[in-house]
């Protein structure tokens, strides 16, 4: 498909993984998982991502319920707050999702070039 003038086609899309027709992980949940692992706290991750703690907890809880094993374990804390630890399975899921995202971006870039040639 040829374009006219400065007009350019761009292929875009979103990816997510489902289990039994339910969203397991997508961009937002992957970012939440990564931030929680990085900061060691779900509350800190929620603040950093500008989402409510309730939404963050619900998202991680849904991922943990849907997964074969938990991705993150949350331990209640005292004065310093709780601790969030990513499991080996969580690291694996996050790594595979990031690779899938990279592959998807290569695909969309290739398709964009094809449309504009």
Task: Please give the model's pTM, rounded to 2 decimal places.
Answer: 0.84
Domain assignment of residue 4, yes or no: no
Domain assignment of residue 104, yes or no: yes
Domain assignment of residue 29, yes or no: yes
Domain assignment of residue 106, yes or no: yes
Residues 1-12 pLDDT 10s: 655 555 589 999
Alpha helices (runs of H) in the chain, residue ranges in sequence order: 27-39, 42-49, 53-66, 88-115
- pLDDT computed for residue 75 by the predictor: 83
Domain assignment of residue 105, yes or no: yes
Q: Is 5 helix (H, G, I), strand (E, B) or coil?
A: coil
Domain assignment of residue 78, yes or no: yes
Cβ–Cβ under 8 Å, residues 80 and 87: no
Calpha distance 60→50 (Å, rounded)? 16
Residue 25 pLDDT greater than 70, yes or no: yes
CATH of the domain at 84: 1.10.10.10
Domain assignment of residue 82, yes or no: yes
Domains contained in the chain, number: 1
Residue 21 pLDDT greater than 80, yes or no: yes
| pLDDT band (50, 70, 90) for residue 117 | confident
State the residue range of the domain holding 94: 18-115
Mean pLDDT in residue range 104-110: 96
Mean pLDDT in residue range 24-46: 95
Domain assignment of residue 3, yes or no: no
- pLDDT computed for residue 104 by the predictor: 97
């Amino acid at each position: 498909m040829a374009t006219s003038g400065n007009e350019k086609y761009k292929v875009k899309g979103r990816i997510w993984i489902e289990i039994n027709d339910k969203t397991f992980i997508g961009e937002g949940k992957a970012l939440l998982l990564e931030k929680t692992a990085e900061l060691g706290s779900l509350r800190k991750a929620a603040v950093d991502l500008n989402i409510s703690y309730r939404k963050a907890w619900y998202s991680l809880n849904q991922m943990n319920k849907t997964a074969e094993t938990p991705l993150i374990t949350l331990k209640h804390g005292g004065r310093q707050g709780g601790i969030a630890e990513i499991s080996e399975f969580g690291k694996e899921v996050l790594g595979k999702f990031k690779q899938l995202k990279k592959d998807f971006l290569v695909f969309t870039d290739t398709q964009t070039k094809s449309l504009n040639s």
